[in-house]
């Protein structure tokens, strides 16, 4: 798809220097990495393993030693194995503000430079929860991996779990990638207003590609049921009058009548 190819090309160029230097920066923060590629690349792309070192609230030398130990601690049969060095020497070094942006950069660079498959996600199924809080006022959850043919992570690996909370109001929408127009570093879609017959440009934020020609977006103004232009977005202008195509009926296949 043209949109995906454009995204990969932009990400490749944006992170070329970071990959060459083995370090990502965001503001004053710096994430050093040690990447190792294992095995042959599968037809659908490589796996990505981010292995987080221990140490924590100790000296820089100790955390550096823990990082060096993590570089070759695991050897998956296939995939890109990356050991990053935490930007801080603190007990919560992997959970401080700013680390998510650095990981996002690393993952995007891995997709663009090492052909990592971004759709290789391990889903976790809740199988139990302790309803009584422990001494730290935390509740223990037990989660089960749903691998669905993906290689099993090795025992002892550090993991990062992302939890999406559904508050009952969904702010994510799915549109065709053909509906997205990227210009001046922004993404937008054209919304059709039947009462005026015109289209209005609405800025959106791309969250992820679904792999089936669609894209998950979020927008403060769009809502489910809005009519979005899905073809010819490069040829129309904001406020222009357009006429929607009539839907194909069973008796007029191809719109010939």
Q: What is the DSSP string of the chain?
A: -HHHHHHHHHHHHHTHHHHHHTEEEETTEEEEEEEEEESPPPTT-B-EEE------SS-HHHHHHHHHHHTTS---SSEEEEEEEPSS-STTTTSSTTHHHHHHHHHHHHHHHS-B-TT---EEEEEEE-SS--TTS---EEEEEE-TTSPPPPTT-----------S---EEEEEGGG-EEETTEEEEEEEETTTTEEEEEEEEEEEE-SSSEEEEE-SS--TT-EE--S-TTS--TT-B--PPPPP-TTSTTS--
Q: How far apart are CA 8 and CA 26, in angstroms?
A: 20
Query: What pLDDT score was predicted for residue 29?
Result: 95
Domains and CATH numbers, the chain: 2-113 (no CATH), 172-228 (2.40.420.20)
C-alpha 113, offset from chain centre: 15
Is 79 within 8 Å of 57 (Cβ atoms)? no
Give the CA angle between residues 44, 8, 48 to the nearest 5°: 45
Tokens read off for 44: 């659908």
Q: How far apart are CA 109 and CA 12, in angstroms?
A: 6
Q: How far apart are CA 15 and CA 249, in angstroms?
A: 48
pLDDT (tens, 9 = 90+) of the chain, 257 residues, equals 577 788 888 899 999 999 999 999 999 999 999 999 999 999 989 989 899 998 989 999 999 999 999 998 888 889 999 999 999 999 889 989 999 899 999 999 999 999 999 877 677 777 777 767 788 778 787 777 777 766 677 666 666 677 666 555 457 888 888 888 887 778 889 999 999 999 999 988 887 777 677 888 888 888 888 999 988 888 888 899 988 877 666 665 555 55
Q: How far apart are CA 178 and CA 230, in angstroms?
A: 5
Q: How far apart are CA 85 and CA 71, in angstroms?
A: 10
> Which of 248, 100, 237, 111 is closest to 181 using CA atoms?
237
Q: How far apart are CA 213 and CA 202, in angstroms?
A: 20
């Amino acid at each position: 798809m043209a949109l995906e190819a454009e995204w990969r090309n932009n990400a490749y160029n944006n992170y070329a220097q970071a990959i060459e230097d083995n370090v990502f920066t965001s503001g004053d923060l710096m994430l050093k990495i040690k990447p190792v590629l294992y095995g042959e690349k599968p037809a659908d792309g490589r796996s990505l393993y981010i292995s987080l070192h221990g140490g924590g609230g100790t000296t820089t030398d100790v955390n550096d030693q823990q990082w060096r130990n993590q570089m070759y601690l695991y050897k998956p049969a296939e995939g890109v194995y990356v050991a990053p060095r935490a930007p801080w020497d603190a007990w919560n070094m992997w959970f401080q503000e700013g680390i998510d942006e650095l990981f996002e950069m690393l993952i995007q660079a891995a997709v663009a430079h090492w052909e990592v498959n971004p759709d290789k996600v391990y889903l976790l199924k809740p199988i139990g929860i302790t309803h009584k809080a422990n001494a730290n006022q935390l509740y223990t959850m037990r989660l089960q991996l749903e691998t669905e043919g993906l290689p099993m992570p090795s025992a002892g690996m550090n993991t990062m779990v992302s939890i999406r909370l559904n508050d009952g109001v969904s702010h994510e929408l799915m549109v065709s990638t053909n509906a997205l127009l990227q210009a001046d570093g922004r993404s937008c879609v054209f919304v059709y207003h039947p009462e005026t017959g015109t289209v209005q440009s609405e800025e959106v934020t791309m969250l992820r590609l679904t792999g089936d020609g669609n894209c998950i977006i979020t927008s403060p103004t769009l809502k489910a049921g809005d009519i979005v232009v899905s073809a010819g977005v490069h040829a129309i202008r904001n406020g222009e009058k357009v006429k929607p195509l009539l839907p194909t009926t069973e008796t007029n296949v191809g719109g010939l009548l």
